[in-house]
């Protein structure tokens, strides 16, 4: 199997507003994941953050995907937010057992930490990550500003990630915070998304960028400009970045992802993205 230079994905695979624009009118809800995996290379699995799925659901996800596709599921918030990684070994074991059918298709397990998790808690994170087998694909997303201070705390954090082979997830929320708060969707996104500095560093082999887009799709191009330099550099170094694309309500997230991928393909050789299922095999053309 040819290694993809970059994996492109969205924050979800099922959205009712995508029925006409992405899936096609003939697609049933149960068929959405299979259609999604025909186009995108990965997905940010938020569903596991809120609740552990049933084993039957996990098996269905396996049946609907393929070996070239990678999920990036978040660990449950009960572990990361409520227990702050402490005394959670039994819960982690139970969760991983349920997810076992998909282990071979996991690109990264995401440990998303709340803003209340500070650099003083680093030892807790280190002990928690030691519960996983060696070379297990882990990514950590931090939100406390102490991890972005470019001081000894941040250096200590980054050096440990490099030694452990764990990716530091990069949140680029500049686009959404540049939008004027003119409607409830934008206000809600700005309230929920962290406003943290963009530290474009890579600590392992699969740096993940969460690009939280501007509602004006054209506005995103200027914010994506720095990534048109950084991503080809990482790819040239033999790394395989993950680019996860969001918009405030995610209605036009597939179109934005396509446009950003097309922009990147002008800087580095990338395989052509498959046509959206709704296009019925027609050439993939961006809307903007």
Read off the pLDDT of residues 2-22 as tens digits, 9 standing for 90 and up: 689 999 999 999 999 999 999
The pTM of the full predicted model, rounded to 2 decimals, is 0.94
Q: Give the CATH number of the domain where residue 242 resides.
A: 3.20.20.410
Sequence-ordered strand ranges (E) for the chain: 7-10, 42-45, 70-73, 109-112, 138-141, 167-168, 170-172, 208-212, 242-246
Classify residue 1: in a domain, yes or no.
no
Give the span between the Cα atoms of 260 and 245, in whole angstroms.
Answer: 9
Q: At residue 286, does pLDDT exceed 70?
A: no
Classify residue 287: in a domain, yes or no.
no
Q: What is the count of structural domains for the chain?
A: 1
Classify residue 285: in a domain, yes or no.
no
Classify residue 263: in a domain, yes or no.
yes
Give the span between the Cα atoms of 188 and 249, in whole angstroms.
Answer: 9
Classify residue 168: in a domain, yes or no.
yes
Classify residue 161: in a domain, yes or no.
yes
CB distance 276 to 41 below 8 Å? no
Structural domain containing residue 114: 7-279
Classify residue 130: in a domain, yes or no.
yes
CB distance 203 to 166 below 8 Å? yes
Work out the average pLDDT over 215-239. Answer: 95
Cβ-Cβ contacts under 8 Å for 28 (sequence gap 6 or more): none
**What pLDDT was estimated at residue 284?**
59
Q: At residue 135, does pLDDT exceed 90?
A: no
| Residue pLDDT, tens place only, 274-283 | 999 998 655 4
Token duo for residue 160: 């440990």
**What pLDDT was estimated at residue 287?**
45
Tell me the three state secondary structure of residue 106.
strand
Classify residue 286: in a domain, yes or no.
no
Work out the average pLDDT over 26-53. Answer: 95
Token duo for residue 260: 């950003």
Give the span between the Cα atoms of 194 and 192, in whole angstroms.
Answer: 7
CA distances from 34 to 13, 63, 208 (A): 9, 8, 23
Confidence of residue 25 (pLDDT cuts 50, 70, 90): confident
Which has the minimum average pLDDT: 118-122, 213-217, 224-228? Answer: 213-217
């Amino acid at each position: 199997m040819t290694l993809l230079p970059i994996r492109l994905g969205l924050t979800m695979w099922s959205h009712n507003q995508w029925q006409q624009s992405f899936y096609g009118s003939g697609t049933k809800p149960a068929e959405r994941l299979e259609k999604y995996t025909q186009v995108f290379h990965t997905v940010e699995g938020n569903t596991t953050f809120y609740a552990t799925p049933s084993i039957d659901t996990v098996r269905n996800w396996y049946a609907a995907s393929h070996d070239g596709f990678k999920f990036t599921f978040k660990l449950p918030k009960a572990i990361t937010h409520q227990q702050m990684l402490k005394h959670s070994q039994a819960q982690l074991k139970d969760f991983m057992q349920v997810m076992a059918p998909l282990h071979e298709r996991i690109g990264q397990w995401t440990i998303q930490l709340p803003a209340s998790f500070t650099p003083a808690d680093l030892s807790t994170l280190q002990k928690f990550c030691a519960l996983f087998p060696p070379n297990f694909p882990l990514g950590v997303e931090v939100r406390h500003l102490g991890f972005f201070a470019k001081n000894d705390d941040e250096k200590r954090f980054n050096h440990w990630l490099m030694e452990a082979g764990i990716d530091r997830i990069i949140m680029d929320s500049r686009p959404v915070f540049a939008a004027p708060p003119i409607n409830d969707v934008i206000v809600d996104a700005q309230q929920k998304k962290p406003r943290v500095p963009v530290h474009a560093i890579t600590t392992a082999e699969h740096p993940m960028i969460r690009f939280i887009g501007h509602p004006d799709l054209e506005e995103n191009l200027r914010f994506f400009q720095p990534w048109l330099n950084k991503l080809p550099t990482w790819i040239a170094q033999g790394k395989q970045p993950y680019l996860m694309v969001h918009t405030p309500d995610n209605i036009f997230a597939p179109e934005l992802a396509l446009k950003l991928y097309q922009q990147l393909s002008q800087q580095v050789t990338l395989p052509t993205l498959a046509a959206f299922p709704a296009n019925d095999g027609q050439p993939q053309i961006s809307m903007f």
